[in-house]
Structure 1
């Protein structure tokens, strides 16, 4: 039976030196367990054992005089009984004896009790570090495109607010703060980021980096503005596209502006254009071969390039610069996901770049009635037909798609297609 009692622990005081100043005092419980009281009154537990014939003093944690307990994160709650003994940083007398007995047993067995004590301790990473670790651990089960989007979206939209915070310190309030800047302006992206933040925090909980439950979805909804009702991407009426293209061709040829024009002429998605490289382009064959890793359906797709698209590319970049990303950002890598949207806003338009796909589809339906609808859907890299029809359709209808895309280029950019005398030169700029 130990010498200390709960009352003695609660009432223990520091000692006093010859000068009358308070000094640290040790109260012995027995079997090498001591209660240490600092000059300021702070109380902690210490175990003294023999390891390889040498005395070792091992700190066990703070003395808990209220019986609440604390986990490895320093949090007190009623789940203290569920916390592994070696992770307890605040110990009642009973817990201190239990932890001391476990470490003494290890010492007698020849193990280093300090090493064993620290083995289970958790180093809690920041949110930014957890994003990196979650991406590394989970990406093998994702497509390259999904893995890239997961990391990039969190680094751009979550890390600025959450990146420096420990994952065990993030609750609903912190997530709301991170999402607020994009919640109404970029609702689709905001919902993706919210889901991905949840994935990171769930991963952190599974790794033992946080003990709290994940932020409650109802609290997040309550703390954020109501988003506009969901709908289709805002699209420019196809009749307005030629004037828009002509206006943009008359401006300086920044990477983002030319990328928007290339997206229009190819009816491609923004991400596919941003990740386009010169190695994917065959100017002689007039094709753009996009790998599965950048495609929404995770299937490789070949785009037929119109005269307008070819002229746009050839004029934008001289031969000696045709390598790597076609539309490079300031640091040399692909443009960010907001660069094309910014180009649209700079042009005074509220529509999305994705909406040009809708404009193309409407134009094809109304102005190219002799071309089967299936051709336009293939040009958009959509799957067409039933599973049975897909099994029997072995052609990608490339010749018909080339006819359709050439007509679209002539409609959208006549000055680049040789059907207009008013040809505007494209001047390269670093802006």
Structure 2
């Protein structure tokens, strides 16, 4: 054997021994302590490494507390909403026949000489459900007139509707609100075409309102119909029930009762489809005794024929054909009410006959310019007293109004009207005045 081959044999033996040593050591570390020892001399005991501590338990994700049961009733103030409108007028545009003595204190205080721009109405309505069975409606007007003071805040509506059933078909209205008499009296000035209410029906109730309790009933689908006739721009009167009954003071809005004789009122009104057009028919009446104010004149004293508490009673019929696109609206009432006499009895105030009404023709053009354009013409006739004016002067009114309402956007409307009038003056000596008036009104809704 050569030296080289001998040297190679020794080197191979050393490498094999080294590999065996490493293999044995590795096996000793991998073999668990419970394993049986290998045959032969046991290797030195190797202390097993301490078992690894289990990881600290991770706390479970915080479980949210059980959701509180949803409250059925929100706090009342979360259900309150606001809306309103403002009307700004100018009545001094050129007319064919101007008469500065032609005035209408019940309608528009900006008629007559030395007048310019005026705020006819400035309303803010606060309303909402404060309970599943109770809703409120509060409406002040910030453009009222008291004496020679303009833009005075005064209460118009302040009432609650108390619903007797979950469908809200039966309800009592308690507080100061509109008295359910007629159609145009109940129609909001925000929706009405003509700039002022007609004398024939509005002479029944100054400001259309009084303090009392009223009961209304309407099926839920008819209540939806009343709402649609307003929201759609068809000039509805609002929801005053198919049947309305009530008792109220009778001295008109914001005036205290002056006798122990409340007024009673009843009304029925029903809207229905006639072909493809909505039609509404109605009728109503009221009765009571009105305590009027009488004051001596410079040259004479007024006499009350039967004391201050005079019979005040009327009956009315109403017809509305909603403009789709052609529409028609008419009302007529008859009755008895406090009034001065005529001729030899002009200084004697008594309960006397009255009658009058109006008719209106209108045509609704949708989407032509802006939201809608509605031209209209209305004629009014009335002969009777104005019970809420001192000495209850007797009126003779014949009036024709031609105009158009242009709803530019939902928030903005412009109305122009030309009035030809022959009417009794609101101021002593109550002369008959004739004249023409051109007026324009800008209304913004919010």
Higher helix proportion (structure 1 or 2): 1
TM-score normalised by the chain length of structure 2 = 0.21
**Larger-gyration structure (1/2):** 2
Give 1 or 2: higher strand fraction: 2
